[in-house]
């Protein structure tokens, strides 16, 4: 009987349903970001073929997209409570990624 009561309490938690809604939104966003990452990859391939080296501007953009993807994946897998952009400041992504890296080094 205790398990049923706990399950009922869990089902009534607003925070859980809110997180599920965020997960659905970020599942769509990560699909768009994945497409952008492929565009970056293709542009870098073209740049490497034409100039012999990657484009520095695209390099920085790709790095930011990769960090953003990592932040979304951390949130989707419940490894962070920090919601990614657009529900938080863009700089929060850098903070979360840096914090995650520090935790894994220790």
Q: If you write DSSP's letter for every residue of 14-68 in order, what string do you get? A: HHHHHHHHHHHHHHHHHHHHHHHHHHHHHHHHHHHHHHSS--HHHHHHHHHHHHH
Q: Kindly report whether the global pTM for this prediction surpasses the value 0.85.
A: no
The pLDDT value recorded for residue 62 is 92
pLDDT in tens, 43-84: 999 999 999 999 999 999 999 999 999 999 999 999 989 999
Give the number of other CB atoms < 10 A from CB of residue 59.
14
Residue 106 has pLDDT above 60, yes or no: no
The pLDDT value recorded for residue 74 is 92
pLDDT in tens, 4-31: 888 888 888 888 899 999 999 999 999 9
């Amino acid at each position: 009987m205790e398990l049923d009561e706990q399950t009922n309490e869990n089902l009534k938690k607003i925070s859980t349903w809110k997180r599920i809604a965020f997960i659905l939104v970020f599942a769509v966003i990560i699909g768009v970001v994945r497409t952008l990452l492929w565009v970056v990859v293709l542009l870098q391939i073209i740049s490497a073929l034409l100039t012999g080296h990657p484009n520095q501007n695209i390099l920085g953009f790709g790095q930011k997209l990769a960090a953003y993807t990592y932040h979304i994946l951390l949130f989707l897998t419940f490894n962070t409570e920090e919601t990614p952009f657009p529900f938080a400041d863009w700089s929060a992504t850098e903070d979360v990624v840096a914090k995650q890296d520090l935790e894994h080094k220790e």
